[in-house]
Amino acid sequence: MIVGIGVDLVDVPRFERSLARTPRLLPRLFAPAERVLKPRSLAARYAAKEAFIKAMGGSDGVHWTDIEITSEPSGRPVFALSGETAATVAARGITAVHLSMSHDAGLATAYVIAEAPDGAVTAPAPADTAPAGASPAPAATPAAAAAPTAPAPSVGADA
């Protein structure tokens, strides 16, 4: 069952200028193996990480350098999740994360789909405190309230 979808679009020249202006972004956003890539590939990976966070429903328990995009021998991009991010994905019952990335004409894009077995998904943990005047969060659906029973996620991707 699809439990999350994320998409992101990055202006490659603007992203490249941001990296040049703020060199510390490179180690904050990318795993060591990703840091040697060309700017258009980094922009696509940044888009993939943003889309991943959107598919997860937020960034709680997710860390940029725990999300690495690697390639299968065929060239198909896949997520290699580690650390707290991998634990968060497993705790939410997500068993597969699909990725498609592209870059052309100065733009990079990524699309992510997160899947879990029916009834195995838990919602992201709510914040301890809500801002003053905020409405209470809507009640979780029965599927979202079920305890996770899924094994570690498969991180296959679509190219």
The predicted-structure confidence for 4-61, as pLDDT tens digits, reads as follows 999 999 999 999 999 999 999 999 999 999 999 999 999 999 999 999 999 999 999 9
E strand residue ranges, 23-118? 67-71, 77-81, 96-104, 107-115
Those residues with Cβ within 8 angstroms of residue 6's Cβ, 6 or more apart along the chain or in another chain = 50, 51, 52, 53, 54, 55, 56, 110, 111, 112, 114
| 126, 148, 149 from 119: Cα distances, Å | 19, 8, 9
Residues in CB range of 65: below 8 A, 6 or more apart: 27, 28, 29, 30, 31
Confidence of residue 119 (pLDDT cuts 50, 70, 90): confident
pTM: 0.76
Longest CA span, the chain: 52
pLDDT value for 145: 33
Residue 106 CA to residue 46 CA, distance in Å, equals 14
3-class DSSP assignment, residue 2? strand
| CA dist 55 → 2, 91, 99, 136 (Å) | 10, 15, 11, 22
CB 114 within 8 A of CB 94: yes
Please report which confidence band the pLDDT of residue 124 belongs to, taking 50, 70 and 90 as the band edges: low
Top-confidence range, 28-32, 117-121, 139-143: 28-32
- State how far the Cα of 101 lies from the Cα of 108, in Å rounded to an integer: 7
2-125+137-145: CATH topology? Ribosomal Protein L22; Chain A (3.90.470)
Question: Domain residues of the chain, as ranges?
Answer: 2-125+137-145
pLDDT at residue 73 tops 60: yes
User: φ and ψ at 83, to 5 degrees?
Assistant: 55, -145
